[in-house]
Amino acid sequence: MVLVQSLDKIDFIYNKLYKEYGPQGWWPLINYKGINPTKTGSVNGYHPGKYGFPKNEKEIFEICLGAILTQNTSWPNVEKALINLNKEKLLGPKKILESEEKIVKECIRPAGYYNQKYKKIIIFCDFFISLRGRTPKRKELLNLWGIGDETADSILLYAYRKPVWVMDTYTKRVFERVGINIEQKKKMKYEKMNEIHALLVEHCKRICLKKKPKCEDCKIKEICLFYF
């Protein structure tokens, strides 16, 4: 095992995973003609190496909506819901609020828990409009019904390009296995924060599995306490 300080491990992980998987291009956008580097889902709206997204209010809202819809489900299911909303021309807060409840619910049905998620989306639409283009504070997001830490941080990182850690299941899994103190997180620029979270998700889906991780194929096993 290579002895590396906790904060330096984050740079080590980033460099290793970036070399292995390359830029991920998160967050994918339905109407952007990009690529799909991971083949997760069917949308080719990823933009590897391009960190200027989202470029407008519509894209910001779409990312926020995706962050809410992805609660307790997989991305391909969220993708189906967003495609449905897009077909109905409902990828906008005012359009959703003005639409019939049954139409919106049917669109988001693939993402599961559609009754609860509809309520969350309606509350968020009102909030989004009230922002008038400004960036929300984390506390404001957490005060909304149905918005927890992970969703709030995903919105801030990917929709508003704020350098925050998204401490989801994947990030926690890797941090715990390599011995990084979750409370002591390294501060980075937005671009790197964006990339490392996406890389951790990809690594956990391919290698650092929950029950049977493929440790022999892992590029960061030399600093992993779980492996040794």
Token pair belonging to 43: 């949308």
Spatial contact of 58 and 91, defined as CB atoms under 8 Å apart:
yes
Question: How high is the pLDDT of residue 227?
Answer: 82
Q: In the chain, what are the domain boundaries? A: 1-28+165-228, 53-160
- Give the distance, in angstroms, between the CA of residue 144 and the centroid of all CA atoms in the same chain: 19
What is the reported pLDDT for 37? 76
Dihedrals phi, psi of 151, to nearest 5 degrees: -65, -45
Per-residue pLDDT for the chain (228 aa), expressed as one digit of tens each?
555 666 789 999 999 999 999 999 999 999 998 888 766 666 788 999 999 999 999 999 999 999 999 999 999 999 999 999 999 999 999 999 999 999 999 999 999 999 999 999 999 999 999 999 999 999 999 999 999 999 999 999 999 999 999 999 999 999 999 999 888 788 899 999 999 999 999 999 999 999 999 999 999 999 999 887
From the options 3.30.56.10, 2.70.98.60, 1.10.1670.10, 3.30.930.10, give the CATH code of 1-28+165-228: 1.10.1670.10
Per CATH, the homologous superfamily of domain 53-160 is: Hypothetical protein; domain 2 (1.10.340.30)
Q: How many Å apart are CA 34 and CA 32, to the nearest integer?
A: 6
Amino acid 40: pLDDT = 62
For residue 46, give every residue at least 6 positions away whose Cβ sits within 8 Å of its Cβ, in sequence order, or none: 24, 25, 26, 28, 34, 35, 36, 37, 38
The predicted pLDDT at position 208 comes to 97
pTM above 0.85, yes or no: yes
